[in-house]
């Protein structure tokens, strides 16, 4: 099955929640864990176990593993393998973006079946030009993996690039959405090329003339819950596309660790809340 089909099935079974796996120093400290590879391993094991069966996916942030060097990367490799064993889809949050053979190398690292860092999908940045993503898009199409393209992020610095207009008058973010949408035409139940769109971007989707309805692919939406977005914001930003929104939550869920029982309950509650918010 392609990533789009697998994700649609997982969202149908478990709801629209993606748990962000972000073992930053303050969170490790809150959990009573050391900021070491051993602390990362204990954290990661607990999150995978707590999310399995209640979330559609998890989103490990590569940066928090890379900062520990080879031993941190080894923990990330094990997390990805454990998630596969738990039938839990993975979104590798690495936001890779480069050109030519370098982009092909990133794609091989995260999307090639059998790679030590193999994930089900990868976040990428199109801001060296959408065409620079071709090696990752081609490999994802070949192997049935998923791609989440940064489109409209909620950080204020993103406006300078994403809200800018091309020579034809089209907003840069709208051009990204248009090109991603073209790659999903005819796919059922949805395509493998998704977008990252912040749930807190307000009226930007309509203001910039962005057509999310035609994407026919998943939308990864950070910003729900602790960052302030609720039913009204989701309706404003995603409109009729809400059925394809994968809600990412990190702090609001992970704060309940290190207790596995409390973490499981928080994941289940967040999944139900995300479903209710999207239907609201």
Task: Tell me which residues are annotated as active site.
Answer: 95
Two tokens at 243?
A: 């059925």
Strands annotated E in the chain: 17-21, 57-60, 89-96, 121-124, 146-152, 193-197, 219-221, 245-249
Alpha-carbon distance of 29 to 123, in angstroms, equals 27
Strands annotated E in 135-235: 146-152, 193-197, 219-221
Query: Please, which residues have CB within 8 angstroms of residue 170's CB and are 6 or more apart in sequence?
Result: 178, 209
Cβ atoms of 150 and 161 closer than 8 Å: no
Two tokens at 31?
A: 């959990």
Two tokens at 171?
A: 């907003």
Q: What is the DSSP string of 13-61?
A: HH-SEEEEE---HHHHHHTT--SSHHHHHHHHHHHHHHHTTT-SEEEEB
Two tokens at 147?
A: 């791609």
Cβ atoms of 139 and 107 closer than 8 Å: yes
Cβ atoms of 241 and 210 closer than 8 Å: no
**DSSP H stretches of helix in 52-121:** 62-66, 69-85, 100-111
Alpha-carbon distance of 251 to 241, in angstroms, equals 25
Alpha-carbon distance of 68 to 147, in angstroms, equals 26
């Amino acid at each position: 099955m392609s990533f789009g089909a697998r994700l649609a099935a997982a969202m149908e079974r478990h709801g629209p929640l993606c748990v962000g796996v972000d073992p930053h120093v303050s969170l490790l400290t809150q959990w009573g864990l050391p900021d070491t590879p051993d602390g990362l391993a204990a954290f990661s094991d607990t999150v995978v176990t707590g999310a399995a069966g209640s979330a559609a996916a998890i989103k490990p942030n590569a940066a928090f593993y890379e900062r520990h060097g080879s031993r941190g990367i080894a923990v990330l490799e094990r997390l990805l393998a454990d998630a596969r064993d738990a039938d839990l889809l993975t979104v590798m949050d690495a936001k890779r973006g480069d050109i030519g053979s370098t982009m092909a190398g990133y794609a091989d690292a995260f999307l090639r079946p059998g790679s030590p860092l193999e994930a089900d999908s990868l976040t990428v940045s199109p801001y060296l030009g959408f065409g620079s993503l071709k090696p990752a898009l081609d490999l994802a199409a070949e192997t049935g993996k998923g791609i989440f393209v940064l489109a409209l992020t909620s950080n204020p610095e993103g406006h300078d690039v994403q809200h800018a207009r091309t020579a034809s008058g089209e907003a840069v973010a709208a051009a990204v959405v248009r090109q991603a949408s073209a790659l999903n035409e005819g796919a059922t139940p949805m395509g493998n090329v998704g977008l990252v769109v912040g749930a807190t971007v307000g009226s930007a989707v309509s203001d910039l003339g962005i057509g999310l309805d035609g994407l026919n692919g998943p939308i990864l939406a950070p910003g729900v819950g602790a960052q302030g977005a609720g039913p009204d914001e989701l309706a404003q930003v995603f409109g009729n596309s809400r059925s394809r929104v994968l809600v990412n939550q990190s702090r609001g869920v992970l704060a309940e660790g290190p207790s596995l029982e409390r973490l499981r309950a928080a994941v289940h509650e967040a999944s139900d809340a995300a479903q209710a918010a999207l239907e609201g």
